[in-house]
Structures are given as C-alpha cells and as structure tokens.
C-alpha cells in the first residue's frame, strides 16, 4: 500500500479526554477512531492488525478441533431471563423495542450457543464438540477508561465446548490452555496462566491468561522458576514467599493485563435449557460445558501499550499491519522513485506486506517520526544518497542503528 493513498493521517497532539496509553498511540498513528468512551472504529491499519490476530487465533482454535460459526449479535431477552443473567449480570445491555419487546446484544453467548448445541447433540456419539466464533460483544460498563483494552464494544473469540464427562472436559481444558499460550507467543507476547475465581460465570476455579506489563490493571504473583502464577486477589501468598509447587522458586509480584480466560461452567447452562443427550447406557445425561474467551481488540491494545517505546508503537512481526515500511525521502527524483517501486514490487512478490511512504511535500524528519509512531517492524530508506551508494538504509524498529544493505541482502532478510 502507498501511504499517499492511505486516507488516515498521523497526528502529533494527544487526543482529548483519552487517558489510556493504548488508545492515545493508536489514535495518533491512525489505527482507530474514537466514537465515545469504550467504543472505537478500526481504520485500515487497525483492521489489518485485527485480521492478523484473528488469523492466529483461528488457526489455533481449528487445530484443537474448534468449529467456527457466527452467532447473532442481537438476542431476544427470553434466553437471558431463562439463565438469570438478565437480572444478575449488570453489564447486560437492555434494549426496548417500539414493539414493546425486549432485546439484548451479546456480552457472552452461552444463551445462544447452548440452544444451538442442544438441537444438534443427541447422543454421546455427538460429543465432545467445541464451537467458537470471532465477533462483537457489548458490555454496559459504568466507566470505560482503558481505551480498547476494556470497551463497551469489543471483538472477542469465544469458544464453548460440551463433554460427556469431567475427565473429558479436563483433558480439553488442558489442550485449550496450551493453545492459548501458543496464541500469545505467536502474537509476540509473554503470557502466564493464572488460577482465578470464576466471577459471575461460575463458582469453580478458572484460568486467566495474563501478559506482564506495567500498564496492567491486575496484580499477579508468579514463580521465578516454574510456571506457577496466581492473581493476588485469590491467593494468601505474598511476594518473596517460597513457591509451593517447586523446590527452589520464589514468588515475584508484577502488574499484568488479562488477555483471555477459560471457565469450567459445569452443567449450569445445559440444565437451564433442558439440554440432555443419550449416554452409552441409553439414559438421558447432561453435558459438561466450558467457555474459552480471548479478547481480540484487547490483545491488540495490550500489544500496542506493553511493547511501545517513547517514539511510538512497536508491533511484533506477526501482527503488524505491514512488515516493511519503505520511506522514500526523495519523492519526485526519478531514480529514487524507481528504486522504491522496484523494492516494493519485489517484496510484495515474495508475499511481504509493504507500506511505502511516497508522500511528496513531507519532510524526512516527519516521515521518520511517523514511521516510529506507526511501528512497522522493518524500515527501509530510499533517497538520493542511498542510491548514490547503490544500497538501501535498513533499520529494525527495535534497533538503534541503521545499516546499508544491497537489494540482494535486503531481500534475503525476508526469505
Ligand atoms: Zn515454582
């Protein structure tokens, strides 16, 4: 893509009434547009990041047998009344229609997916099954001050699984936990699975997946030697204590952001909807259900905020909107334009997504500042000077110094 054609522009001044660092960066770089607190539109750059995260999540959910569907967002109130969530869950939006019917918009989808599964699962032979979607969710938050990290509208991957036995559920729970850790790793983030209480969903223990970042709103204790990690809210342990799970570990305290969760829902929702199946003995039995969430837009906000430096965003390669940012500092110079275009075409032919800053009348300093703010992992400068040397000036977003590379050397970085 050519930056002269990109309809969004960067801006230097911080947006008014935006206290969240992730939203501040993403708005200034032109990724998102704020509609109101907790509600944002995703612009071309932002949409590309979301699609990259969604692709990784989709691949990992498909790999553990998840089947993707798309559920309705607008729901009748009846199933929500049937499960008690209509009255008990305070973040449920309640919409009154002119027909005097009441509706809601999904803040989670147990009320929709359970009746769907009930219709198709009749026998133990139909189990286990894991159904997921990637879609919009709505929460009636009193305050929404965390940018895209906690919105009134957000994108989520939510998966629901149904099982014959607790053992089968536990097995899938462990498989899903590993898949989640792979998702975060592929997104360039270090996440830990902590045990937490189940909140409004369930009385049982659940997993929360936490990315260590000073921007986080949770406090966790983690072992410096094994994978043990817990939310301080539910543990009696303290910083400096010895780890109870391994011989030599010590517990450290850190700020973290939640980027996913897994709940054992037991049989609550199947019971609410009278969902039974015929077990091996020929009797009606109630399946055990699990819920597995990953906040997609939240993950984008955490990555933007946790990995940023003083100059702007630093995207991990896997979710960056483009992998290479070509800056043509001599737009209008025939040789420079030709060299920039040729490199653009060669990288594109290799399947590398490239943003080329071909804007005329924009000073070099501004192009460098924009490039740092936007945060594309690899920067390549083309100018009269680099052409006179027959090379390109290459720098990684995370590196301090640039180096001069020939076309062949440059292309070899993307084999
Ligand atoms: Zn330990």
Quote the ligand 1 centre to 241 CA distance (angstroms).
Answer: 10
Bridge partners of residue 291, in order along the sequence: 160, 263
Q: What is the maximal distance between C-alpha atoms in the chain?
A: 82
* Number of neighbouring beta carbons within 10 Å of residue 84: 11
What is the CA(250)–ligand 1 centre distance, in A? Answer: 7
> How long, in residues, is the chain?
415
CA distance 137 to 151: 9
- The Å distance, Cα 238 to ligand 1 centre, comes to 13
Q: What is the pLDDT of residue 207?
A: 87
State the pLDDT at residue 386: 97
How many whole angstroms separate alpha carbon 66 and alpha carbon 277? 20
Distance of CA 186 from the midpoint of ligand 1 (Å)? 24
The model's pTM = 0.95
Of 310, 311, 319, which is closest to residue 372 (Cα–Cα)? 311
3-state SS, residue 155: strand
Instruction: Determine the pLDDT at residue 110.
Output: 97
Q: How far apart are CA 130 and CA 138, in angstroms?
A: 23
Q: What is the CA radius of gyration of the chain?
A: 24
Q: How far is the CA of 163 from the centre of ligand 1 (A)?
A: 31
Q: Which two tokens stand for residue 178?
A: 């590993």
Rounded to the nearest angstrom, the distance between the alpha carbon of 318 and the centre of ligand 1 is 30
Burial class (CB in 10 A: 0-12, 13-18, 19+), 107: buried
Rounded to the nearest angstrom, the distance between the alpha carbon of 224 and the centre of ligand 1 is 7
Encode the chain (415 residues) as per-residue pLDDT tens digits.
999 999 999 998 888 888 899 999 999 999 999 999 999 999 999 999 999 999 999 999 999 999 999 999 999 999 999 999 999 999 999 999 999 999 999 999 999 999 999 999 999 999 999 999 999 999 999 988 889 998 999 999 999 999 999 999 999 999 999 999 999 999 999 899 987 665 544 456 688 999 988 878 889 999 999 988 888 888 888 999 999 889 999 999 999 999 999 999 999 999 999 999 999 999 999 999 999 999 999 999 999 999 999 999 999 999 999 999 999 999 999 999 999 999 999 999 999 999 999 999 999 999 999 999 999 999 999 999 999 999 999 999 999 999 999 999 999 999 8
CA of 262 relative to ligand 1 center, distance in Å: 22
Cβ count within 10 A of residue 133: 20
Q: Say how many Å lie between the CA of residue 235 and the centre of ligand 1.
A: 14
Task: Please give the Cα distance from 397 to 410 (Å, whole number).
Answer: 15
What pLDDT is attached to residue 196? 67
User: Could you please report the per-residue DSSP string of 201-236?
Assistant: T-SSEEEEEEEE-TT-SEEEEEESSSS-EEEGGG--
- pLDDT computed for residue 57 by the predictor: 98
pLDDT for position 203: 56
Say what the alpha-carbon torsion angle 319, 320, 322, 323 is, to the nearest 10 degrees.
-90
Q: How far is the CA of 222 from the centre of ligand 1 (A)?
A: 8
* DSSP annotation string for 168-204: HHHHHHHHHHHHHHHHHHHTT--EEEEEEE-TTT-SS
**pLDDT value of position 186:** 97
Angstrom distance (rounded) from CA 280 to CA 124: 6
């Amino acid at each position: 893509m050519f930056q002269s054609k990109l309809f969004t522009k960067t801006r230097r001044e911080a947006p008014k009434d935006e206290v969240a660092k992730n939203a501040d960066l993403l708005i200034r770089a032109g990724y998102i547009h704020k509609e109101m607190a907790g509600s944002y539109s995703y612009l071309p750059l932002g949409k590309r990041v979301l699609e990259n995260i969604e692709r990784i999540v989709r691949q990992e959910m498909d790999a553990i047998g998840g089947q993707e569907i798309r559920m309705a967002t607008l729901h009748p109130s009846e199933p929500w009344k049937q499960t008690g969530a209509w009255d008990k869950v305070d973040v449920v939006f309640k919409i009154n229609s002119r027909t005097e019917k009441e509706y809601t918009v999904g803040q989670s989808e147990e009320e929709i997916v359970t009746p769907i599964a009930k219709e198709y699962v009749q026998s133990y032979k139909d189990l286990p099954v894991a159904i997921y979607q990637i879609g919009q969710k709505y929460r009636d938050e009193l305050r929404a001050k965390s940018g895209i990290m906690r919105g009134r509208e957000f994108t989520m991957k939510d998966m629901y699984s149904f099982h014959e036995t607790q053992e089968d559920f536990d097995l899938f729970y462990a498989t899903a936990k590993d898949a989640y850790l792979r998702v975060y790793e592929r997104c360039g983030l270090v996440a830990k699975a902590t045990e937490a209480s189940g909140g409004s969903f369930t009385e049982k223990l659940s997993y929360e997946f936490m990315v260590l970042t000073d921007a986080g709103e949770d406090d966790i204790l983690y072992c410096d030697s094994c994978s043990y990690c817990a939310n301080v809210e539910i543990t009696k342990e303290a910083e400096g204590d010895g780890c109870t799970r391994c011989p030599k570990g010590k517990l450290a305290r850190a700020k973290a952001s939640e980027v996913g969760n897994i709940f054992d829902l037991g049989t609550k929702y199947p019971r609410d909807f009278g969902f039974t199946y015929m077990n091996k003995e020929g009797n009606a039995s109630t399946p055990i259900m699990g819920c597995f969430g990953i906040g997609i837009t939240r993950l984008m906000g955490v990555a933007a905020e946790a990995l940023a430096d003083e100059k702007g965003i630093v995207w991990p390669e896997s979710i960056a909107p483009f992998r290479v940012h070509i800056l043509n500092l001599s737009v209008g110079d025939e040789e420079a334009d030709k060299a920039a275009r040729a490199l653009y075409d060669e990288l594109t032919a290799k399947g590398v997504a490239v943003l080329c800053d071909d804007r005329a009348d924009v000073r070099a300093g501004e192009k460098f500042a924009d490039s740092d703010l936007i945060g594309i992992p690899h920067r390549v400068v083309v100018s009269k000077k680099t052409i006179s040397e027959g090379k390109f000036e290459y720098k990684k977003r995370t590196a301090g110094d640039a180096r001069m590379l020939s076309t062949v050397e440059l292309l070899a970085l993307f084999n």
